[in-house]
Amino acid sequence: MKGAGPMTTYFAFAGAWQARSAELRKDSAALGALLARSDTLILPIWRGKPQFAISDAHACLGWVDASAPCLQDAPRPILYLGKHDGRAIFAADISGWEPDALDRAAMAMFNDTTTQHYPGAQPGHVFADLRQHMTGLNTTEAALAATARAIFNWHHRHGFCAACGQASNIAAAGWERQCPGCGAHHFPRTDPVVIMLVQYRNRVLLGRSPNWPKGMYSALAGFVEPGETIEAAVAREVAEETGVTLRDIRYVASQPWPFPSSLMLGCIAKARDTRITLDAELEDAGWFTREQILQGWSGQNPALTPARKGSIAHHLIGGWLAGKL
């Protein structure tokens, strides 16, 4: 699949494809015809893990056609994502498949490096954590995988009508749920999250959560609450987590983050003060100079390791290090 090549500075998942073709989502005849085409691409996803084609440490998405054995475990209708390069693009959730000898403890870790191979799939085609390969995918494939993962997450979490409690049904080629009881229509949700790099002279404020790998520090983040602006959420979250008050809050960029269904709203701000009063949500927080962060990112200081490459946190910190923010 054509798309921008692998990059080191872009936000993973922030790309796009040719067309979402929303006008076809309720046209079952047209979608059936597209599924029958030999050039149509379908991305299998198992419990949030896309299928990858991995060879010689390189990974791209492991697309299949409608004859693939794994699709027997996919409920209908499967998700229609649209068109790219003149081809129809679908994704199929095969989470009902149960592999043999699952290492559930390893799958629950912050860095899930386990893979699963569906019987009969092509050699090298395995299900793997999207975060492990997000910087190696081209921008189009990353965006398609993230969108499909977020939609399937929503279906798994919202199987019942919020109005009457009855089990709802998948509709509109995966982009809607409909209640057969009260007739309510439900649509995929995205949760806005502010993530902010707080600056004070030659230092920035970074924190770490208890479940992160040892030494990993990143920008502070938190969900936007009802009735809040982005700027108000930034100020509140930083004050709640560290007691630091802010000025000059500015939005920078956004990144879809399908873990499970967030939109990260990247911001920068300046601190009015530097005294930290740590909240229970964080294990630690501190002020770090450019020199300290550069040592950590270059591997010279294992007590300070960077946020994930491809994440907006990594981009914000990297932009600050380069003097661009």
Alpha-carbon distance of 216 to 297, in angstroms, equals: 10
CA nearest 120: which of 70, 64, 53? 70
Query: Using the 8-state DSSP alphabet, how is residue 323 labeled?
Result: T
Antiparallel, parallel or unpaired: β 284-289 and 41-46? unpaired
92 and 211 in a single domain? The answer is no
- Could you tell me if residue 66 is inside a domain? yes
Cα 70 to its chain centre, rounded Å, is 24
Distance (Å, rounded) from C-alpha 290 to C-alpha 276?
Answer: 19
Considering only residues 8 and 64, tell me which one the structure prediction assigns the higher pLDDT: 64
Task: Give the percent of the chain with pLDDT over 90.
Answer: 84
Domain boundary, last residue among 131, 157, 183: 157
CATH number at residue 230: 3.90.79.10
| 28 & 151 share domain | yes
Alpha-carbon torsion angle 105, 108, 113, 119, nearest 10 = 70
Q: What is the pLDDT of residues 132-167, one digit of tens each?
A: 999 999 999 999 999 999 999 999 999 999 999 999
pLDDT score of 138: 93
Same domain, 247 and 316: yes
What range does the domain containing 266 cover?
191-321
Residue at 172 is within a domain: no
Is 144 in the same domain as 95?
yes
- Whether 103 maps to a domain, the answer reads yes
Can you tell me the mean pLDDT for 311-315?
Answer: 95
CB distance 117 to 62 below 8 Å: no
In a domain, 211, yes or no: yes
**Tens of pLDDT, residues 35-44:** 999 999 999 9
pLDDT (0 to 100) of residue 303: 87
pLDDT of 275-285, one tens digit each? 999 998 899 99
Say if residue 260 is in the same domain as residue 213: yes
Q: What is the DSSP letter of 306?
A: P
Mean pLDDT of all residues in 106-128:
90
The whole-number average pLDDT for the span 48-54 is 96
pTM here?
0.92
Q: How far is CA 178 from CA 171, 184, 320, in A?
A: 6, 6, 46
Count structural domains, the chain. 2
Residues 153 and 35 in one domain: yes
Helix boundaries (H) for 158-247: 230-242
- Reported as a single tens digit per residue, the pLDDT across 11-24 is 899 999 999 999 99
Amino acid at 257: W
DSSP class of 268: E
